[in-house]
Amino acid sequence: MPSFVTTGGNLLADGGTFGVGTVIVTHFDEPITDKAAAERALGVQTAPPVAGSWYWADDQNVHWRPQNYWTPGTQVTVHANVYGIPLGEGLFGQDDAQMSFTIGDAHVSVADDATKQVIVTNNGQVVRTMPTSMGMGGTEVVGGQTLSFWTQPGVYTVLDKANPVIMDSSTYGLPVNSRLGDKETRRQGGKEKINYATRISNDGIYLHELADTVWAQGNTNVSHVCLNLSPDNARWFYDFSVPGDVVEVRGTGGAPLELWQNGDWSVPWEHWLAGSALS
């Protein structure tokens, strides 16, 4: 059975409005061995027309995006006409699926480590400049696991948001009593409610409020990986953002953003095309 989700695993809401960096994911509830047959049953129709391609992230998830960001106002319909189609090793499509959505305004934010500012644009016009403190950099081996504290460079998209979100250092293998324990995760037994948190990666990178680091925002990176913002800026960005909005992180150290983390737009187009089962 197919369903349509975001790169963060949330359902794409039929009739919804999403950002210009939206990637369509068709998720199958069982592994697919005949990917070519499955892909031939998938389709994306747009008005105005937009060229794009599917990319198999794994045996259950195939992603579709254009070469460049969507144009605001584009109407998108995606379908999976898999009912009764053999998909390999005795597996058949359970039912067809279809949904439609609209691309909203072009919200593109650039977080540049050279300036430690997040410049937010709406349809090409700067609407907000927000000082930030990003990942402090470096690595540490904790419990046999090497943890990186860079905010990785790459093109992210907004996945979802929560107010508050519960952050727990142990989720990332970091003991509460580590010298690197964030203030927000040392309190209350290693858990803390963080307000106005906008998530941009599948491994827990957020733009979020943290008043304790306002002194560093705009001049010094003291975070583990998240982008710390002032309460006012975090609240504004939270209200402004919709799933699929673009956040480009530039100039930071560490490894480039990977596909599984929400790095679809960081994959070069020629590599993306090669990820199709029909290429």
Q: What is the pLDDT of residues 67-79, one digit of tens each?
A: 999 999 999 999 9
What percentage of the chain carries pLDDT values higher than 90?
A: 85
Q: In angstroms, rounded to a whole number, what is the distance separating the alpha carbons of residues 153 and 13?
A: 29
Tell me what the mean pLDDT of segment 237-243 comes to.
98
pLDDT tens digits for range 28-67: 999 999 999 999 999 999 999 999 999 999 999 999 999 9
Return the exposure string of 188-223: e unless at least 16 CB atoms fall within 10 Å of the residue's CB, then b. eebbbebbbbbbbbbebbbbbbbeebbebbbeebbb
**From 63, 107, 208, 224, active-site residue:** 208
> How far from chain centre, in Å, is Cα 146?
23
What is the arithmetic mean of pLDDT over 219-248? 97
Asked if residues 266 and 152 have their Cβ atoms less than 8 Å apart, the reply is no
What pLDDT is stored for residue 146 in this prediction?
A: 82
Binning the chain into helix, strand and coil, the percentages to the nearest 5 are 15, 40, 45
Structural domains of the chain sorted by starting position, each given as residue range(s) with its CATH number in brackets: 2-104 (2.60.40.3710), 107-266 (2.40.440.10)
State the average pLDDT over residues 154-180. 73
Q: What is the dihedral of CA 234, 206, 104, 65, to 10 degrees?
A: 160
Q: Which tens digits make up the pLDDT trace of 82-127?
A: 999 999 999 999 999 999 999 999 999 999 999 999 999 999 999 9
How is residue 116 annotated by DSSP? T
Q: What pLDDT was estimated at residue 169?
A: 59
Indicate which residue of 79, 107, 224, 226 is catalytic. Answer: 226
Distance of CA 246 to CAs 29, 107, 154, 241, Å?
A: 28, 6, 11, 9
Residue 235 has a pLDDT of 98
The share of the chain scoring above pLDDT 70, in percent, equals 91
79 is catalytic: no
Output the DSSP codes for 224-260. Answer: SSSEEE-HHHHHHHHHH--TT-EEEEES--SSPPPHH
Question: Would you call 63 a catalytic residue per the annotation?
Answer: no
Mean pLDDT of 11-25: 97
- Model pLDDT, residue 190: 56
Instruction: State residue 89's pLDDT score.
Output: 94
User: What's the rounded mean pLDDT across residues 19-23?
Assistant: 98
